Homo-oligomer: A and B are copies of this chain.
Amino acid sequence: MSGGAGFREGRLAIIAGGGRLPHDIAEAARGAGEDPFIVLLSGEADRDWSGFEHATVSVGDIAAVSALLRGKNLKRVVLSGSVKRRPEWRHLRPTLSSVVKLPSIVRTLFSGGDDTVLRMVIDLLEGEGCRIVGAQEIVPNLLATLGPLGRHAPSGEDLRDIAAGVAAADVLGALDIGQGAVAVGGRVVAVEGAEGTDSMLLRVAGLRAEGRISKRRRGVLVKLCKPQQDVRADLPTIGRSTVENAGHAGLAGIAVEAGRSLVLERDALVKAADEAGLFVIGIERAVRKDAT
Asked if A49 CB lies within 8 Å of chain B CBs, one says no
| A53 interface contact, C-beta 8 A | no
- Look across to chain B and name the residue whose beta carbon is closest to the beta carbon of A177: B188
Interface string of A208-243 (1 = CB under 8 A from B): 001111101100000000000000000000000000
Q: Which residue from chain B places its CB closest to the CB of A212 in the assembled complex?
A: B84
Contacts of A185 in B (CB 8 A): 110-111
Q: Which residue of B lies closest to A114 (CB)?
A: B187
A193-B189 contact in complex given A167-B175, A214-B88, C-beta closer than 8 Å: yes
A194 touches B186 (CB 8 A): no
- The tally of residues in A whose CB lies under 8 Å from a CB in B reads 39
- The answer on a CB contact under 8 Å between A207 and B195 is yes
* A171 contacts partner chain B, Cβ-Cβ < 8 Å: yes
3 shortest interchain CB distances as A-B pairs: A111-B186, A189-B194, A110-B185
Q: Known pairs A167-B175, A191-B191; list 16 more (Cβ under 8 Å).
A: A84-B210, A85-B211, A110-B186, A110-B216, A113-B187, A168-B172, A171-B171, A171-B175, A175-B188, A194-B207, A194-B212, A195-B206, A195-B207, A195-B212, A199-B203, A203-B203
